[in-house]
Amino acid sequence: MQRHPAFHPLISEHHRALVTAHRILKALAKGDPGELSALATQAAADLRGRWGRHFSCEERLFAALPDTVQARAAALIARILDEHVAMRSLAARLEAGDVPTLAVFAARLRDHTRLEERELIPLLEQLSDADTLARLGTLWRECDPT
């Protein structure tokens, strides 16, 4: 589906998140302990780096929404914020190489990203006027220029 250009950088980060989640899930099915331990360490670093920044930028984006949009998207935004907290809380156990936590992280990252792609972005597109969409695009580019 065609998305408003304001969301293109966010969508390409989501693509990266889904690729990461699928790579981890495939490795879990294979079960090589060395590979899983390396992936857990990487996931912890990414949670403190790339994904942590991604979540923070989304949170800034939510805070910048007009009150009327925030009100109508409140339930979905609250769920997304809870999921950010839950994923961030996995970093310490991932750092310790905990494989069950790696499975939880991969499934959460995949499901969370799908939720944002399937529900959040369409809802924001539907509720926001052109000025708001342009502002969200600028905000995202400034927050996460990767």
Q: What is the binding site for Fe ion (CB under 5 A)?
A: 58, 116
Nearer to Fe ion, 13 or 98 (CB): 13
Q: How far apart are CA 4 and CA 130, in angstroms?
A: 10
Report, in Å, the least distance between residue 81 CB and Fe ion: 9
Report, in Å, the least distance between residue 80 CB and Fe ion: 5
Nearer to Fe ion, 51 or 102 (CB): 51
Type of residue numbered 64: A
**DSSP output for 23-91:** HHHHHHHHT-HHHHHHHHHHHHHHHHTHHHHHHHHHHHHHHHS-HHHHHHTHHHHHHHHHHHHHHHTTH
Report, in Å, the least distance between residue 113 CB and Fe ion: 6
Nearer to Fe ion, 41 or 56 (CB): 56
